[in-house]
Amino acid sequence: MSDLKIGIVGCAGRMGRMLVNQVAGTKGCSVCGGTEPAGSSAIGEDINALAGLESSGVTVTDSTDDLFNTSDVVIDFTAPAASVAHAKLAAKSGTTLVIGTTGISNEEQAEISACGEETVIIQGANMSLGVNLLAQLTKKVAELLDDDFDVEVLEMHHHHKVDSPSGTALLLGKAAAEGRQIDHDRVADRGRDGITGARKKGDIGYAVLRGGNVVGEHTVMFAADNERIEITHKAGDRSIFARGAVRAALWSKGKPAGNYDMMDVLGLGD
- Active site positions, annotated: 157, 161
- Helix (H) / strand (E) element for 136: namely helix 129-144
Q: How far apart are CA 61 and CA 47, in angstroms?
A: 9
Beta strand extents in 77-203 (DSSP E only):
96-99, 120-123, 150-157, 188-189
Cα 258 to Cα 80, 96, 97, 106, 207, distances in angstroms:
19, 10, 11, 18, 33
Contacts of 181 (CB under 8 A, 6+ apart): none
Cα 204 to Cα 157, 174, 233, distances in angstroms:
20, 9, 18
Using CB atoms within 10 Å of the CB of residue 240, give its burial: 0 to 12 exposed, 13 to 18 middle, 19+ buried.
Answer: buried
Closest C-alpha among 124, 130, 80 to residue 105: 80
